[in-house]
Amino acid sequence: MKKIAVFASGNGSNFQAILDATKSGEMNASMQLLVCDRPNAYCIERARQAGIPSFVFSAKNYESKKQYETEVIAHLKELNVEFIILAGYMRLIGPTILDAFPGKIVNIHPSFLPLFPGKDAIGQALQAGVESTGVTVHFVDEGMDTGPIIAQEKILIENGDSKESLERKVHEVEHVLYVNTLKKLFNN
């Protein structure tokens, strides 16, 4: 059973989908830790309710990215974490964590990469007027949403789709695609 940590910054709906899959036994993984960079994020409450320990920090309380990433790694190593799963974590992973977990960090991004990397991918897609966007699961490297792609699914943008309606469609796909992709990764 793979020991995983989930990094999240917000509501934690993908955190919850992954947690549910680990708790039910459908994913051969055990969630060891939530790492969160926003002390008021709802994902912290989700972790608390599930009895999952959290490491919560504010980057502004550290002199450098290396300093907080070193502290994060100490918590991960203490729990023997093998994989890091990014689920709405809104920070770029720096070389300190990348070097400690080579090829063991997975991210989900709300676009059909390489289109619309970075922040507000859904807004970027709507502004570009494209007919479809999607969801991508990929390994993390030093770039922004540039790592090797593991899985993707397209989502049609319909006439009249607002940012909110498209976000709902993306989240529905994310919760299924991410869990199914992680199951394939961990259940083999």
Are residues 143 and 187 in contact, defined by beta-carbon separation less than 8 angstroms?
no
Residue 59 phi, psi dihedral angles, 5° rounding: -55, -30
Q: How far apart are CA 6 and CA 34, in angstroms?
A: 5
- Amino acid letter, 64: S
With tokens 């990929």, the residue in question is 138
- Verify whether residue 75 is a known catalytic residue: no
Q: How far apart are CA 6 and CA 80, in angstroms?
A: 14
Q: How far apart are CA 89 and CA 91, in angstroms?
A: 6
Question: Is residue 185 left, alpha or beta, with left meaning phi > 0 and alpha meaning psi from -120 to 50?
Answer: alpha
For the record, the structure tokens of 57 come out as 């920090």
Neighbours of 187 (CB within 10 A): 11
Catalytic residue among 75, 109, 138, 171: 109
Active-site residue numbers? 109
